[in-house]
Structure 1
Amino acid sequence: MPALYVIGRILFAALFLVSGINKFLDLQSAAQAIGAHFAVPAQLTEYTSQIETFTGMPITQVIAILGGAIEILGALAIATNLGARTFAVLLALLLVLTVFYFNDFWNAAATERTASLFEALKNLALIGALLMIAGRPRELAASGSSYTDI
């Protein structure tokens, strides 16, 4: 695997690693942000109340923990290329939900619309990069390549 590709994977993974760690460092703020943008559909309240009873935590906190764990594990998977395709798909799905619930520029006030639009576009670009990782074919053991290949 060429050196630039390895470096790029590590740098790309850093975003998700830091984001996931920050969720755990300030779990209350992450849960509040989720609660401000996401409402549990009525059809799922029975299940979410069971989850809340089982965990002893509000569902927004459970979602924040799951999101942070997916980000950290996904970052490590992408950086090390172990399970990278699977976690790239999971991270892409997480970002799709983020765009839908957090970057609703279509409903934003005029003053916030541009910032929200560019945040959504950034997330769409990240989804594109994750899909490139997920769609990259497995590498065959190359006989003469090394990490110094550029």
Structure 2
Amino acid sequence: MRQSNSLTCSADWSMQVDNYNFACIASFSFTAIATSFYICCLKSRLDGAPQLAAQFFTVIGTFKFILVLTIFAVFLPQCADGCICGSPPLRLYPFFAFLIAVRWLLRARQLYALANRVASENEDKDGPIFDRVSTVEMA
């Protein structure tokens, strides 16, 4: 009976470690795909549109942050009571992923500030935006 409990513990631990590793690989893949997509396809289009670039970084930063929270909250292996488990997996990647998420969100914040500054400069130069829009008077 003791041996089957040991096998159950070992199998459970192994499954948890595999799930954790898969979640880390999925998070890393998301980072690689999002970064590559930005560099190859969006960077040249979004250079003149800080508002759109800020929205892009907000979306990917938020998604990355959710992935990191999921890794820490759901996929982090826990040894069951009464079990002797193997060595825990390296927990370094989730911290790097967290830094990447924070970096993307800070980049979004910078781009939103730039977009607001550009909008306010254009408004100051040309007057309020509503003065530039023609209105139709109703008779």
**Smaller-chain TM-score range?**
0.3 to 0.5
- Larger CA Rg, structure 1 vs 2: 2
Give me the TM-score of the superposition, normalised by structure 1. Answer: 0.39
Give me the TM-score of the superposition, normalised by structure 2. Answer: 0.41
